[in-house]
Structure 1
Amino acid sequence: MDFLVSENRMSSIASEDRKASMEQEHPSVSACPEVPQDIDLSDSRFYLNRELSYLQFNLRVLDQARNIRHPLLERLMFLLIFSSNLDEFYEIRVSGLKKQLGFGRQRPGPDGKYPQEVLSEIHAQVRLALQEQYRILNEDLLPALADENIRFLYRHEWSDNLLEWSLEYFRNEVLPVISPLGLDPAHPFPRLVNKSLNFILSLEGKDAFGRDSGLAIVPAPRALPRLIKVPAHITPDGDNFIFLSSIIHAHVEEFFPGMKVKECHQFRVTRNSDLEMSNVEVEDVASALQGELHMRRFGAAAKLEVGAGCPAELTDFLLERFNLTEEELFRLDGPVNLQRLVALNSMVHRPELQFPPFSPGLPPALEENNCIFSAVTREDQLLLHPYQSFVPVIDWVRQAARDSGVISIKQTLYRTNESSELVEALAEAARNGKEVTVVIELRARFDEEENIQFASILQEAGAVVVYGVMGYKTHAKMVLIVRRENGRLKRYAHLGTGNYHRKNSLLYTDYSLLTCDEALCADVHKVFQQITGMGKKIAPELILNAPFKLMKGLIQLIQHEKAAAREGKAARIIAKVNALTDPVIIQELYSASQAGVRIDLIVRGICCLKPGVPNVSENIRVVSTIGRFLEHSRVYYFANAQHPLYCSSADWMERNLQRRIEIAFPILKKKWVQRILSEMEMHIQDLNQSWELQSDGSYLKLDQLDAGETADGVQNLLLNALATHATVPRR
């Protein structure tokens, strides 16, 4: 397959023609510019705030819900992803800032902002974003869905038949499982689960015991569906749905016979969900973590959401109970648990309103029933998911489990899917007598419980399971297979930028390298030794590994490009990462820019670097690709390095470079280097799915098309180039 698609857009970066073009367009590449020597590159003026940058990313996600080029149901899904992202942001990042305030540890970040200042800006921006989110829902998406005969019926739209049916549903399905809680000294305010749907009621009258506290809480159990499909015999035209909250509102007095419900309003509290385990006196990580998991549901409150009409006396009561301020209260013009609408995807069958299906491509060498060991021996294999299939990675471990020549398998697991084929294959290998060692990161956020279960399955099968190194999350993605061939042992490795998660491999863009290069595989073996054993540092030859060598290696590579620029060479850095926050790396990039290095950064999410600042970052450009797939691959390119291109599991963040076990591995085969460069250039030149970061922290959408024009974004171009049976609409 010719991977250099769109030839007029995708010329090779490494070619002499490209270098000449760069020198014409960017004279600073071939001559070091005069730069003032007294600029302090650590000055807070040159840094964007991490949390506010994340909000900018989530606003770019929300913008996809407005994008009329996306199918209608996909626009709704982007709206819900925005909600999910925002919840996690408050559960982790906002809760962390609040904790700093609680401990009196206010310290400014590299941008000079203090936590209290950042929190105030966050709440103000989120308030505006939520108003826009519900405007999109109520004014754009719901009417458009109704035009497609998909309706969400509010109580004022119910017919008599529907009202009668809803009462029957309430009495049969809702009333038996809900326990309303009247509030009085014997019934204090309950501990409500994180992100659960609840109702606060104002009551009039006395109950059978003479109580008249006037307030009650009705929690909706998570077992109840939040979205209910109306039977066709009740409302025959199209797909019609009602919300659980509407059913409870309509019949809430059934909970309180003989009393009058004056007010009934939904609310939801978002809590701190960041698990904390001290390294001190933890003998069993799995047991300690299981204890923390329960507490996650009841952490300190970070955000309160209520229905738009909830009166002040009720919101004040809730704020007091949750120890929140008015600033942390958000009134929503619709359901407070909006992301539960994701169930709609499985409740309607409307493929014309969704992204067209595709089949991930498969290189001939890796087709089903081929021996993957033979294919990798002939040539390193490179895959880009989801455009190319993740199945060969799973099949390779399966083949290894059943191959009589395979002696041992080592693998890291950070996240994997619920019924993991890889875990099954590793367990089979252990039962077949292979030496199986699995490094499971139990602290992979929100996957902790599942990972504990996988660890138990593997241990019962006879595999050796380790939980990495205390204080360092194991985030590297590696498989090492040792096989006896012709009387000697030979190593094979899979190295990736993403998780061993088959479902995510259909949604996240990630690179996979399958190799038997002796030096590279020896390095992988050394990294596994460091994780599972004890001893002094072992220095890999080719791999840059954190927390030992990656940071230092990146600085050396950046400085090498800076030196090349000063010598008049064409110097270029391209990095594709999810986030860029590390101030040391940012300062090195600023310094390289000052020396004339041309730097293109493809940063999906958080970026604390300011591009385009005079005399500091004039040679730096930052773009963000947002679309159907989550951009997840990390790739670093340094034009003048001995090994110019690395793929990695690590973002350019302090935690990845200093507090995690990560790897960056070089791509050694020239054709794969050229292919990845071509694919990154597609992101850099994209005018359909990209946004460009401005020096003030805002993003400029690079969609230069008129409403009637057609053009493929980078993700559709890659689908057409790499996937099979792709059906990509030409709009």
Structure 2
Amino acid sequence: MNRTQIEAEAELIVHLARPEHIQWLDRDHSILAFNERVFDWALRTDVPLLERLRYLCIVTSNLDEFFEVRVADHLEAARDGVLDDEYSVESYRRISEKAHKLVQRQYELYNKVLLPALTGQGVQIFAHGKRNAGQRRWVSEYFNREVKPLLTPVALDPAHPFPQVANKSLNFIVRLDGEDAFGHTNEIAIVKVPRVLPRFVRLPDSLAGGKGKIGVVSLSSIIRAHLHELFAGRQVVEFSQFRVTRHSDLAVVEGEIQNLRTALRKGLQHRHFGKATRIEVSSSCSEQIASLLLAQYGLPAEALYRVEGPVNLVRLNQVIDLIDDDRPALLFPKWIPQWPRSLKNSENLFARLRQKDVVIHQPFESFDAVVEFLRQAVKDPDVLAIKQTVYRTGPDSVMMELLREAVRKGKEVTAVVELKARFDEENNINWAEALESVGAQVVYGIVGLKTHAKMLLVTRREARGLKRYGHLSTGNYNPRTARLYTDISYLTANDAITSDMDAVFTLLASQAGLPQLNRLMVAPFNLHSSMVENIARTVTAAQAGQPARIVAKMNALTDWGLAEALYKAAQAGVQIDLIVRAACILPALNETAKGGAIRIRSIVGRFLEHSRVFFFQAGDEEQLFLSSADWMNRNMVRRVELAWPVNDPALRQRIVDECLVAYLMDDRDAWVLLENGIYRRLEGDTVNASAQQMLAHYFSTTPMPRASTRPRSRNAAAKTLRAAGDGGSKKK
């Protein structure tokens, strides 16, 4: 496979783009609807109080990213007066209206429910006007000792223009009366709050208001109380907190640069100062100041968000960190991932994998087993080479340190580091430099494509020659998020799969042609067309009167070609169940004339649903694939992605049971997409069960079944899915 084949695949996908005969759902509205489902967890009274606060923070963080990545095109179209397009005056108006309503609901919950509930638990965030004399003295001392030395207020005049304000930084805008030291009457001043300062500070227990109580003050309220001290001889007439959100996608024309790493490092310096897309201000902000800010950043009135409270609710995570040790009852019970059952009593993982492939279901089973796989490879003198892709691994990664140790032990180490992983660019640049510094071979993948595939390949010298062992995953090599995200890790010594993995690594390093592969499907070469072909096989079966079923679990479905193929399959009689966590452009479809249907649900739980699982039944044939890719155009055209089949009947049945059946039965954390495009939470409509809770209970209490008890017939998984039915999806 070569560049011509890549372009042909991309051309096919473009040709399939956005058919007009289907009433598609709007992608960006679907993203906002997903955040409303996350917000529902902050509303739920059966969720511990600090976890409700955490979900509130998650929604705010998600909205920040939405404004950083998705809003700029709508805003530009509105400025240009575009009337009839995907991005237009109307699209920006509708997005703004929906976002404003969600933000309003957030602050209403924070002020009217969560703050009073925290007070009821002996935790109080003391606002400026609620502090007693002792607290005010402590705050004053803290301000003068820790805060004031770091503040540099800037009064605006021709010699001091409006300062550069970094993306999402905390600032104050102040209107002054009187004259400055030089007799000038410049009214406006800006106070930038250094990011090194904590946004919330815990009061000494003696000042918290009673035994066992906890008192917290916000940095914004501390500065507010002492703003006048920053402007000696002048009066503070009015002020407001403000925060600017900026477009933050890094745009690098790879074909026009010599060194991608250097170009990205330079680009990171400018990311914090991209075009503004939103301004948040205090609810009391005057029209005069609000108009000044909007004019300064060239934004319409819809871009202004007035909030009653901290302008950045994400920072409330610091409150949780300050008090969680004292209030464990206000948190979820700690979940400790279990060591994978299939690896118990298996000290040598290479010997275990020679017997059979291993599936690890994170976070119910521990990602530590994957780390152990790499650790054993590093320590084993018979291991000659290790190759790994790096997409999101975090700033403090034990796996990256193990790769460095492998180099020092004389092993050949190749790391394919994706420098363009959004918001992880700096971490990945640092790891690339750290790996290169000890002699690892570091490559950055293919020009114009992101390497999103997750694979780790170990080559070992054995009696019969060189033997490869591989790890493939639906998620990242990040031990921290592996405790928070549901993903599937797949460990194998299968020669067909590992030889394919080696061919993909060769492609990424040398850009040589990709040979015909045995098992793996690779984007942007054939992953999209392979999925379309699998859908087509179910259509053929349905037309022949045979069983035809598709069950797919993913994070997002926004590729027009795959969406259209699914829609046509349902029209032909295929039963389709989709478990799509976030954005989905495909509408639900009640039973068609030929008996097909599209049922779509979203699971939002304690853990972030992240695994990608695709099941196809065509007559007596069933196939199941795991993948690093969502069904999005970017994954199919602009990324290097992998999908691989699970051919072992026992492992396939296990994945169907845990990743599909359990989620089709869920009616606690499940939302069903109705034909009108609205999501409805099931709320115990059928079995009153949460898939994540069921799985956590299963893995923590149930002994591992013997392999002989696993179904092994060709279509056993399809029978199980039929037994699961629609999991309540048809209920209205």
TM-score, normalised by the number of residues in structure 1: 0.90
Counterpart of 2:248 in structure 1: which amino acid?
S
1:467 aligned to which of 416, 439, 444? 444
**What number of residue pairs does the alignment pair up?**
680
Asked whether the equivalents of residues 242 and 311 of structure 2 are also in contact (C-alpha less than 8 Å), the reply is: yes
- In structure 2, distance between residues paired with 1:320 and 1:507: 42
Q: Is the 8 A contact 2:591 2:597 kept in 1?
A: no
- Structure 1 residue aligned with 2:546: 569
CA contact (8 A) 2:569 2:596 kept: no
Give the share of equivalent positions with the same residue, in percent. Answer: 42
Could you say what secondary structure the match of 1:46 adopts? coil
Is 1:624 the counterpart of 2:599 in the alignment? no
Residue 701 in structure 1 maps to residue 688 in structure 2: no
Distance 1:94 1:367 in 2: 49
The Cα of 1:608 is off from its aligned counterpart by 0.1
- Which position in structure 1 is the counterpart of 2:628? 649
**Counterpart code for 1:548:** F
CA distance in structure 2 between the partners assigned to 1:465 and 1:685 by the alignment? 45
Deviations 1:442-488 (A, max 9, x none): 11111101101111111112110000111100000001111111141
1:658 paired to 2:671 = no
Where structure 2 has 5 or more consecutive residues not aligned to the other structure, the ranges are 1-16, 704-732
Post-superposition offset of 1:364 = 4.6
Q: Does 1:670 align with 2:649?
A: yes
Query: Is contact 1:386–1:506 with CA below 8 Å preserved after alignment?
Result: yes
Assess, with a 3 A threshold, how the Cα gap between structure 1 residues 364 and 344 changes in structure 2: closer, same or farther: same
SS in 2 for 1:644: strand
Q: Secondary structure at the match of 2:145?
A: helix
Q: CA contact under 8 A between 1:551 and 1:657: conserved in structure 2?
A: yes
- Residue 10 of structure 1: aligned partner: none
Once the two structures are TM-superposed, the CA of residue 82 in structure 1 deviates from its matched residue by 0.2
Matched residues in 2 for 1:419 and 1:72: separation? 30
Of residues 478-487 and 96-105 in structure 1, the stretch that sits farther from structure 2 once superposed is 96-105
1:68-113 CA deviation, whole Å, 9 max, x = no partner? 11111000000000000000000011124335667899883xxxx4
Q: Which residue, 117, 124, 134 being the options, matches 2:97?
A: 124
Q: Contact 2:572–2:596 (CA<8 Å) still a contact in 1?
A: no
Q: Which has the higher contact order (CA 8 A, sep 6+)?
A: 1
Kept in 2: contact 1:290–1:449 (CA 8 A): yes
**Aligned to 2:34, which of 57, 62, 82?**
57
Report the 3-state secondary structure (helix = DSSP H, G, I; strand = E; otherwise coil) of the residue aligned with 2:189.
strand
1:637 alignment partner AA: F
Question: Deviation of residue 685 (structure 1)?
Answer: 1.6
> Conserved in 1, the CA contact under 8 Å of 2:69 and 2:248?
yes
Deviation at 1:279, TM superposition (A): 2.2
Q: Which moved more, 1:517-526 or 1:269-278?
A: 517-526
Deviation, 1:363, is 2.9
C-alpha separation in 1, matches of 2:346 and 2:520: 31
2:524 equivalent to 1:553: no
Q: Which residue of 2 aligns with 1:242?
A: 217
Question: Could you tell me which of 160, 173, 176 is aligned with 1:200?
Answer: 173
Q: Counterpart of 2:134?
A: 161
Structure 2: distance between partners of 1:409 and 1:120: 51
What SS does structure 1 have at the residue aligned with 2:466? Answer: strand
Q: Is the CA contact (8 Å cut-off) linking 2:575 and 2:596 kept in structure 1?
A: no
Compute the displacement of 1:43 (Å): 2.0
Give the letter for the 1:622 counterpart. I
**Aligned residues of 1:62 and 1:79 also touching (Cα < 8 A):** yes
Structure 2 residue 274 is the aligned partner of structure 1 residue 299 = yes
Cα distance in 2 for residues equivalent to 1:682 and 1:365:
20
Cα distance in structure 2, aligned partners of 1:229 and 1:323: 38
Structure 1: 4+ residue segments shifted above 3 A: 96-108, 613-618, 723-726
Distance 1:725 1:674, change over 3 A: closer
Q: Which residue in the other structure is 2:578 paired with?
A: 601
Q: How does 1:398-477 map to 2 (within 5 A)?
A: 398-477=375-454
Q: Is the 8 A contact 2:666 2:688 kept in 1?
A: no
2-structure distance, mates of 1:203, 1:527: 63
Instruction: Please state how far the C-alpha of 1:535 moved relative to its aligned partner.
Output: 2.5
Q: CA deviation at 1:639?
A: 1.4
Q: Secondary structure at 1:538's aligned position in 2?
A: coil
CA contact (8 A) 1:561 1:572 kept: yes
Compute the displacement of 1:571 (Å): 0.7
Query: Which structure 2 residues correspond to residues 213-232 of structure 1 after superposition, within 5 A?
Result: 213-232=186-205
- Aligned-pair distance for 1:713? 0.9
Q: Which residue of 1 aligns with 2:708?
A: none
Aligned to 2:8: none
State the alpha-carbon separation in 1 of the partners of residues 390 and 34 from structure 2: 28
Q: Residues 715-726 of structure 1 correspond to what in structure 2 (within 5 A)?
A: 715-723=692-700
Partner of 2:512: 535
Question: Shift of the alpha carbon at 1:161?
Answer: 1.3
Please tell me the root mean square deviation across aligned C-alpha atoms, in Å: 2.0
Residues 483-562 of structure 1 correspond to what in structure 2 (within 5 A)? 483-562=460-539
Counterpart for residue 145 of structure 1 = 118
Q: Helix, strand or coil: the match of 2:522?
A: strand
Residues 102 and 518 of structure 1: CA distance in aligned 2, closer, same or farther (over 3 Å): farther
In the alignment, what sits opposite 1:264? 239
The answer to whether the aligner puts 1:375 opposite 2:348 as a matched pair is no
Determine if the alignment matches structure 1 residue 396 to structure 2 residue 376: no
The normalised TM-score by structure 2 is 0.90
